[in-house]
Amino acid sequence: MKRVALIGQPNCGKSALFNAIAGYKANSSHFPGTTVEILTSEVIYKDETFELVDLPGSYSLSPFDKAEEVNTLFILKENFDLIINVIDASILNRSLELTIEILDIGKPTIVVLNMMDEAKKKGIKIDIEKLSSILGVPVIPTIALYGEGVDNLLNNVIKILKNPRNAKPITLNSTIEAIVNKLSSYFKEREEKRFIAFKGIEWPELKNHIKIPREFFVEIERINEEIEKIYGKDIKEFIFSERHHLSMKIAEEVVKISHTIEKTMEEKIDKILYHPFWGYIIFLLSFILVLLLIFKIGGFLEEIFVYPFDILSAKFQTIKAAKIIKPFINGTLEGTMGAIGVIIPFMVPVIFFISLFEETGFLARSAFLFDSFMHKIGLHGKSIPPLIMGFGCNVPAISATRIIESERDRIITALLIPFIPCSARTIIISALVSKFLGVWWALFIYLISIVIAIIISLIASKLIKYPAPGLIMEIPGFKIPSMKNVLIKTWLQLKPFLFYAVPILILGSIFIEYFKLYGAESIINGILRPITYVLNLPSQTGFTLIFGFLRKELALLMLGQSLGVKITEITSVLTPLQILSFTIFTTLYVPCLATLLILKKEFNGKIATISLILNVTVALLVTTLIIQILKITGI
C-alpha cells in the first residue's frame, strides 16, 4: 500500500486534518507535542487506498526533543511515497523554514495551507499560485477543522500517487550549496543524500542512527573553521539563518497584509489566564470546581444507571440454576452493572473535562504558571502538562513526557505520574469516599497524591543533581473550545474502554464468583492478610487488590462482590475509616498493568520496576500513617 506522511509544526492543525481525512480516528490536540504516538489510518478515496501517517508536530527536522526525533528517523528509515506538509497559513514565514527542510528530502510533496480562516482574521492574504511556483509543489488551501479543502487535497494526493514527481530542493546561497554538494557525496547510494548531509551538520547525534563515515565529520570540522573565519558564525547557524532569511523572503513575496491585528475577545481572556495573580486563582478554582462537578454529575448518573440493574438482579435471584451456572450468571450481571452503572457515569465527566482543559489551551498555560514552582522541586514547567494529563489516564501522560528535553526530568516526571489519580481511581474516590464520607475527604485524597508527588520529586532532585534547563515552550493562544472537538476527544477515549475494559470487568466478575465457589479466594486472602491487616481492612479485600493491578476500577467492583454487598450499600460492611483506607491504598498502591507496560516501552524494565516498588512502598507507608493518625485523633 502507498504511504502518505503528514508533517507539520506544532499547532498547525495537523491532527484536525488527519481527523478530517481519516474519520476521527486520531486524537486532535491543542497542546504542543501531544500527538506523540504515531497514528496511522487506511484511507479509501475514489477507489484508491493509501495509508496516512500522522507524525508528531515538529518545529524543525533537526530534533530538539524525543518527540521531534520521531520525524527525522521516520524520514530516514521508513518507506513512504508522499509528504503532506501542513502549514499554519497565519504564520507563513515561520512555517516555511520546515518546508525548505522537507523539500531537501526530494520526495513527492504537497503543501497544505491550513487555518486559512485564522489568516483571514489577521488580514493575511496569500498568493497561492505564486507560492506553488516558488516551491515547485502543489499548494492546497484548507480549513481542516471544518473539512474545507479536504476533497481538493485528496484529489491531488491520488493524482500524485499515480504520477509521482519528486520535489526539487530550494537552493540556498552558493557557499552552502558548495558545502552540501561536497558532503552529500558521502551518501551517494541514498536518494535523500542532500537531506542527510544537512542533518549530519545540524544534528550530530544522527551518527547513532545511520552509518556515517568518520571522514564526513573531519570534513565538517574543516569547513566549520573556514566559515567561522570568514563569517564569524558556526556552520550550523550559518545554514539555519540562511534558511530563515529565505523563508522570510518567500513569505514577503506571497503575503499581503490588509489590516493590522485587532485585539480579539480571546486575547483579552488570555491576558487574564496568564496574569501573575488571577491566572493561579482561576486555575486552582477551576481545578477544584471540575473535581466537585465530576463527583456530583457522576453520583447523579450512577443513581439513574444502577436502578434498572437493581430490578434485573432482583429478578435473577429467584431463578433456580445449577450450581456451576449460577456464578456465571451472577458474575455477568455484577460485572455489567459495575461497568455501566458505576464506572461510565464517573468516567465520562472526567474525560470530558480533561479534554476541555486541553482544547482551551489551559494545559499549556499551566506550564508557564507553574514553572517557577516546578524549579523549586527540581523539575520545570514542561512536566506540568503530562502530570495534568495523568488525571485522565496515566498511559498517554507517560508518552507525553517526550516533550521534556532532559532525560533526567523525563524519568522523574514519569515516576511521578502513577501517583496522580487517573479517571479509574477518580471513580473509586467518587463512588466510595465522596459518596459516603463527603466531597472534602475526596479532595483530601487528591491533596495527598499531589503532596506525595512533590516530596518524591524533591528527594529525586536531591539524589540526581542537575541544573534544570530553561523553559522554552510555545503557548498557543487561548481558544474558545470547539464542542465538536471536545466531544470527539471524549468519545475517542471512551471507545477503547467500552470495547476493551468492559469485557475484562465482566470476566473478572465471573472469575471471582467461581473463585469463591471453589475457595481459591480465601487462600489469596490468607497470603495478603499482613497487608490488609496493617491497612485495617477485612481479609476479604485482599483478593480485590490483585484485580486492581489489572484495572484500577476493577478493585471497586470486586470490593462489593467479595464482601457480598452492592457498592451502593458498602457502608453496611465497612466503617468510614476502612473505606478511606481502601481508597487511599488503591489510589496509590501499584501502577496498573498498562502503565507499567508503557513505562517499559518508553524507558526500560528497570524504570518500570522502580515505579512498581516505589508505589507499593509509598502506598503502604502513607495509608498506615493516615489511618493511625485518624485513629488516635479520633476524627
Tell me which stretch binds other proteins (CB under 8 A): 234-242, 301-309, 509-517, 576-584.
234-242
Tell me which stretch binds other proteins (CB under 8 A): 458-466, 471-479, 574-582, 599-607.
471-479
244: contact with other proteins by CB under 8 A: yes
381: contact with other proteins by CB under 8 A: yes
Residue 21 near residue 112 (C-beta atoms within 8 A): no
* Minimum gap (Å) between residue 282 Cβ and other proteins: 13
261: contact with other proteins by CB under 8 A: yes
* Minimum gap (Å) between residue 489 Cβ and other proteins: 23
| C-alpha to C-alpha distance for 143 and 132, rounded to whole angstroms | 18
475: contact with other proteins by CB under 8 A: yes
Task: Count the Cβ atoms, other than its own, within 10 Å of residue 134.
Answer: 16
Tell me whether residue 276 or residue 634 sits nearer to other proteins (CB atom).
Answer: 276
* Minimum gap (Å) between residue 6 Cβ and other proteins: 19
Long-range Cβ pairs for the range 282-291 (8 Å, 24+): 283/362, 283/365, 283/366, 283/369, 286/362, 288/443, 290/353, 290/357, 291/442, 291/443, 291/446
* Minimum gap (Å) between residue 373 Cβ and other proteins: 7
117: contact with other proteins by CB under 8 A: no
Cβ contacts of residue 375 below 8 Å, gap of 6+?
Answer: 468
241: contact with other proteins by CB under 8 A: yes
Q: What residues from 595 to 614 belong to the interface with other proteins (CB under 8 A)?
A: none
473: contact with other proteins by CB under 8 A: yes
| C-alpha to C-alpha distance for 487 and 534, rounded to whole angstroms | 43
C-alpha cell at 96: 516555511
Strands 255-257 and 124-126, bridge-based pairing: antiparallel
In DSSP terms, 256 is beta-bridged to 125
Tell me which stretch binds other proteins (CB under 8 A): 229-237, 431-439, 610-618, 627-635.
229-237
| C-alpha to C-alpha distance for 85 and 98, rounded to whole angstroms | 9
* Minimum gap (Å) between residue 150 Cβ and other proteins: 25
| C-alpha to C-alpha distance for 553 and 345, rounded to whole angstroms | 13
Q: What angle do CA 310, 425, 501 make, to 5 degrees?
A: 65
Residue by residue, DSSP assigns 386-400 as HHHHTTT-HHHHHHH
From candidates 79, 229, 276, 635, binder to other proteins by CB under 8 A: 276
Tell me whether residue 3 or residue 233 sits nearer to other proteins (CB atom).
Answer: 233
C-alpha cell at 423: 479517571
Tell me whether residue 240 or residue 295 sits nearer to other proteins (CB atom).
Answer: 240
From candidates 16, 343, 354, 367, binder to other proteins by CB under 8 A: 367
472: contact with other proteins by CB under 8 A: yes
Q: How far apart are the first and last CA of the chain?
A: 66
Tell me whether residue 193 or residue 382 sits nearer to other proteins (CB atom).
Answer: 382
* Minimum gap (Å) between residue 371 Cβ and other proteins: 5
| C-alpha to C-alpha distance for 467 and 378, rounded to whole angstroms | 8
Cβ contacts of residue 23 below 8 Å, gap of 6+?
Answer: 41
Tell me whether residue 240 or residue 446 sits nearer to other proteins (CB atom).
Answer: 240
Query: What is the phi/psi pair of residue 258, to 5°?
Result: -90, -35
SS3 271: helix
Tell me whether residue 111 or residue 369 sits nearer to other proteins (CB atom).
Answer: 369
Tell me which stretch binds other proteins (CB under 8 A): 230-238, 433-441, 602-610, 626-634.
230-238
379: contact with other proteins by CB under 8 A: no
Question: Which strands form 109-114's sheet, in the order they lie side by side?
Answer: 39-45, 48-54, 2-8, 82-88, 109-114, 139-141
Residue 340 near residue 305 (C-beta atoms within 8 A): yes
* Minimum gap (Å) between residue 87 Cβ and other proteins: 13
Tell me which stretch binds other proteins (CB under 8 A): 240-248, 487-495, 559-567, 584-592.
240-248
185: contact with other proteins by CB under 8 A: no
Tell me which stretch binds other proteins (CB under 8 A): 20-28, 178-186, 236-244, 298-306.
236-244
* Minimum gap (Å) between residue 471 Cβ and other proteins: 4
Query: What is the phi/psi pair of residue 222, to 5°?
Result: -65, -45
C-alpha cell at 538: 477485612
From candidates 217, 274, 305, 316, binder to other proteins by CB under 8 A: 274
217: contact with other proteins by CB under 8 A: no
Tell me whether residue 159 or residue 233 sits nearer to other proteins (CB atom).
Answer: 233
495: contact with other proteins by CB under 8 A: no
C-alpha cell at 20: 478530517
Residue 504 near residue 554 (C-beta atoms within 8 A): yes
* Minimum gap (Å) between residue 244 Cβ and other proteins: 5
CA 463, 469, 471, 474 torsion: positive or negative? negative
Three-state DSSP string of 272-297 = HHCCCCHHHHHHHHHHHHHHHHHHHH
SS3 326: helix
Tell me which stretch binds other proteins (CB under 8 A): 237-245, 326-334, 427-435, 618-626.
237-245
Tell me whether residue 151 or residue 234 sits nearer to other proteins (CB atom).
Answer: 234
From candidates 177, 234, 252, 310, binder to other proteins by CB under 8 A: 234
Residue 86 near residue 6 (C-beta atoms within 8 A): yes
- Window 74-113: contact mask with other proteins (x via CB under 8 A): ----------------xx-xx--xx---------------
271: contact with other proteins by CB under 8 A: yes
Residue by residue, DSSP assigns 243-261 as HHHHHHHHHHHHEEE-SPP
C-alpha cell at 175: 557557499
* Minimum gap (Å) between residue 147 Cβ and other proteins: 25
Q: What residues from 34 to 73 belong to the interface with other proteins (CB under 8 A)?
A: 59-60, 62, 64
C-alpha cell at 604: 526500560
Tell me whether residue 86 or residue 395 sits nearer to other proteins (CB atom).
Answer: 86
373: contact with other proteins by CB under 8 A: yes
Tell me which residues touch other proteins (CB under 8 A): 59-60, 62, 64, 90-91, 93-94, 97-98, 122, 202, 234, 236-237, 240-241, 244, 261, 271, 274-277, 279, 367-369, 371-373, 380-381, 469-477
